[in-house]
Structure 1
C-alpha cells in the first residue's frame, strides 16, 4: 500500500493539472483513478446539460415534422430514433476507456483517436466543427423566429412564455456549443502567431469586488465577429425547418451512430460478419440512408424557399 501511494504521489507531482503533490489516501475524494480532478456532476446536472445541448432549436420544428408524418408514423419514428440514440450512447460510453492503457478519454475526439486512429479524428473534427457552427446559426434562427413570428398571436401569454423559454435556453446553449469553436480558433492562432501581442497578451483590468479580469483583444474582436456573422447568416437564411433538418441530418449519423458503432466494434473486437457485427452495421447503414434522404429533402425545401424569399423580410 505504501509503495502504491508513493507511486501515485509521484505521478500526481508530475501531472501539470496539479501544482503540488497530493496524498492519495487523504485526497482520494478529489481525484479520479487517472490522477485528475474528480468530476462533480450528478444525475441532475448531467440531465440539465443534456437538455441544454439536445433540446435545442430543432425541437421547435418537431410539431411540424409530426404533422407531416401523422399520428401513426410520427410516434413510431420518434420512439425508433430515441432507441437508436439510447443504444449508440451505451456503445459510446463503453469506449471512453483507452483499449490499451485503460485510461479514460476525456473528449469525444480522444475516444475516436484511441479506438480508430488519427485519420478518423480528422473526419470527426470536421463534422463536429460543421455541426457546431450550424447549431450556432440554428440557435440564432430560433431566436429570430421567437421575436418576429406573426403567424400565431393568441393567447399572448403563451407566446411570451415560449419566447422567454427560448431566450433562457439560448443563453446557455449558445455558450456551450460556441466554446469548442472559440477554443479551436484561439489555440490555433496562438500556435501560428506566438509572438503576436494582439493574440497572446492579456490586459489586466481590476474590478472592485471581483478581482482582476484578463482582457484579451483577440478574443474580444474575434468572438464578437463570430456572433455577428452567425446572426447575419441566420437572418439571411431563415428557413428554419429546412436548415435545422439539413444540419441535423449532416451531423446525426457520423457523431451519434457511425463513430460509436465503429469504436465499439474496434474496442470489443467484434468478429467481422458475426451476428452482432451485422446488426450494428445494419443500424449504421439504415440511419445513413435516412440521413441522406432527410438532407436531400431539406436541400429541396431550401431551393423552393429561395424562389420566393426576400432577405431581411418576414411574411405574415
Structure 2
C-alpha cells in the first residue's frame, strides 16, 4: 500500500480517504497536520544522533575493554550496537499510531508511550526520560571544564616543568560554560540546531581520531601494554570482588554509550513528512550506529592495545600532559566544542516539554507566545521569546549550580543511566511494538522479545549496583563546591 502523503497515491476510486491528511500537501508553510512544515533529512537526523551518542565517554572505552578483555570487550560492543539499532527502529515505527505510515503523529517520546501503552506508562516514561536528560547535561557541565583545565595544566607543565604543582579549580570554567549555554539555549528548536549538531559531530570525530592516532603511534613505537583475552587479571592490587564490580561497570558504560532513545522521537519529529518518517529514521539509525560502532571499536581496541590492562578512564590522559602537549590541547578543545553542542541536543526535549506545558496552560499569555525577531538588514537571524529567555536561562543556571556543588555527580549519572537504559532503550520500544502489531502472548516472536527485555533488565540492574558502589566510594572523599584537577 502506498503512502497517502505522496501525490500519486490514490485509492481505486481515485480519492484519498478522509484522514488527518486533509490539509493540502503542497502547502509551503504547513505540514500534514497543520503544524509548521518540517525540513529535516536523513543527514540532519544522523548529525543529531551522532552528536548525542559519541560523547566524551568514547575515551573511556579503552578502560572498559581492559576490564572485559578482547573477547568480552569486542563482543559487548557489537551486541549492544545490534540491540540499540533494533530497538531504535522499533521506536521509529511508533512515531505514528496506529499505523507507522498513515497514523497520527506523536510529537514526543511521552506521546508515543501514551498512544500505545496508556497514561501510567506515559508518566513513568516522562520521569525517567527527563531525569536522564537533565542528569546528562549536568554531566556535560562537569566534563567540559575538566577538558578546559586539562589544557591549562598541559601549558603549565610545559612552561614550569613536569615537577610543577599545577592544580586548578574547575568552578570558573563551569560558570563560563554555563554562560555560553545560556546564549545557545535561545536556539528555538531542533530545526535551528542542525549547524551546531554538525559542528559537534565533526569535533567528536576529530578528538576520537587524535586518540586513535596517538594509540597507533604508541603501538608502532613498541610501547603497547600487556593485554589478554579476559582483561584485567585478579592478583596483586585487584581482588575477585573488585574485578567483578569493574566488569559490571564496564558493561554498563558500553550499554549507555549507545543510548540515544531519550531524544530519538524529538529528532524524528524534525523530518519531512515525505518519504515516511520511520523509513528515513531507520536509515539515520543505521548510518549513525555503523559510524559510532566503527569509532567505538577503534577507540576501545586500539586504546586497550596501547595501554593494556592499565588503560586509564580517559584515553587522552594516558598520553600525559606533556608531549605532544599541543596535540593533547587540541583534542581537549575539540571535546569542549563537542560538549557545547551535545548539551543543546540533549536539553532540547526538556525545553520543549516545559514550553509545551506553558503554552497549553496559558495559551493567550503575551509572555508565553510573543516573539521578538532580531534582524540583520531584512533577514531575521534569531527570534527571542520571554518564556524561552527566562525558562531556559533558569534551567542552565540550575544545572551549573548542581554541577559545581556535586563534583561526584558523574557517579550519580551512571546510576541514572543504569535506571533509564532498560525502560527507555528497550522496554518501552518493545512493549509499544507488541501493542501496535498485536503480537500474541507466548508466540515465538513474543518470547524472543521478552527474552531480550529480561537480559537488558539484568544488565541495567547490575550496572546500577556497580554505580551505587562508585557513589559510596566518592562520598567518602568528595566535598561540596570543591572541584580541582
- Number of aligned residues: 303
| TM-score w.r.t. length of structure 1 | 0.81
Moved more, 81-90 or 144-153: 144-153
1:61·1:241 contact (CA, 8 Å) conserved in 2?
Answer: no
Displacement, 1:195? 7.4
Q: In the alignment, is residue 160 of structure 1 matched against residue 329 of structure 2?
A: yes
Aligned partner of 1:58 in structure 2 is: 57
Displacement, 1:251? 1.8
Aligned partner of 1:266 in structure 2 is: 435
Distance in 1 between residues matched to 2:334 and 2:104, nearest whole Å: 36
Moved more, 142-151 or 209-218: 209-218
2:398 to 205, 210, 229: 229
2:407·2:478 contact (CA, 8 Å) conserved in 1?
Answer: no
1:4 to 15, 19, 23: 15
Aligned partner of 1:111 in structure 2 is: 112
Displacement, 1:178? 1.4
Aligned partner of 2:81 in structure 1 is: 82
SS of residue in 1 equivalent to 2:64: helix
SS of residue in 2 equivalent to 1:153: coil
Distance in 1 between residues matched to 2:395 and 2:353, nearest whole Å: 13
2:137·2:343 contact (CA, 8 Å) conserved in 1?
Answer: yes
Output one character per residue of 1:80-108: Cα deviation in whole Å (capped at 9) or x when no partner. 11111112123223333312694143433
Distance in 1 between residues matched to 2:431 and 2:19, nearest whole Å: 34
Report the CA distance shift for 1:187/1:267 in structure 2 as closer, same or farther (over 3 A): closer
Distance in 2 between residues matched to 1:38 and 1:207, nearest whole Å: 22
| TM-score w.r.t. length of structure 2 | 0.55
Q: In the alignment, is residue 257 of structure 1 matched against residue 256 of structure 2?
A: no
2:22·2:32 contact (CA, 8 Å) conserved in 1?
Answer: no
SS of residue in 2 equivalent to 1:144: helix
Aligned partner of 2:47 in structure 1 is: 48
Aligned partner of 2:96 in structure 1 is: 97
Report the CA distance shift for 1:137/1:99 in structure 2 as closer, same or farther (over 3 A): same
Q: In the alignment, is residue 137 of structure 1 matched against residue 123 of structure 2?
A: no
SS of residue in 2 equivalent to 1:248: helix
Displacement, 1:227? 1.2
Moved more, 187-196 or 225-234: 187-196
Distance in 1 between residues matched to 2:21 and 2:141, nearest whole Å: 49
1:291 to 460, 465, 476: 460
Displacement, 1:312? 3.9
Higher RCO, 1 or 2 (CA under 8 Å, sep at least 6)?
A: 2
Report the CA distance shift for 1:84/1:272 in structure 2 as closer, same or farther (over 3 A): same
Extract unaligned runs of 5+ from structure 2. 1-9, 154-316
Report the CA distance shift for 1:114/1:297 in structure 2 as closer, same or farther (over 3 A): same
Displacement, 1:224? 1.9
1:58·1:245 contact (CA, 8 Å) conserved in 2?
Answer: no
- Written as runs of structure 1 = structure 2, the 5 A alignment for 1:28-43 is 39-43=38-42
Moved more, 103-112 or 42-51: 103-112
- Written as runs of structure 1 = structure 2, the 5 A alignment for 1:189-200 is 189-192=358-361, 199-200=367-368
Aligned partner of 1:248 in structure 2 is: 417
Displacement, 1:298? 0.9
Distance in 2 between residues matched to 1:48 and 1:163, nearest whole Å: 21
Displacement, 1:262? 0.4
Displacement, 1:294? 0.6
Moved more, 249-258 or 109-118: 109-118
Displacement, 1:137? 0.7
2:419·2:460 contact (CA, 8 Å) conserved in 1?
Answer: yes
Output one character per residue of 1:113-132: Cα deviation in whole Å (capped at 9) or x when no partner. 22212221111111111111
Distance in 1 between residues matched to 2:353 and 2:418, nearest whole Å: 24
Displacement, 1:33? 6.6
Distance in 1 between residues matched to 2:380 and 2:335, nearest whole Å: 33
1:34·1:103 contact (CA, 8 Å) conserved in 2?
Answer: no
Q: In the alignment, is residue 179 of structure 1 matched against residue 348 of structure 2?
A: yes
Moved more, 238-247 or 201-210: 201-210
Extract unaligned runs of 5+ from structure 1. 13-21
- Written as runs of structure 1 = structure 2, the 5 A alignment for 1:206-225 is 207-209=375-377, 210-211=379-380, 215-225=384-394
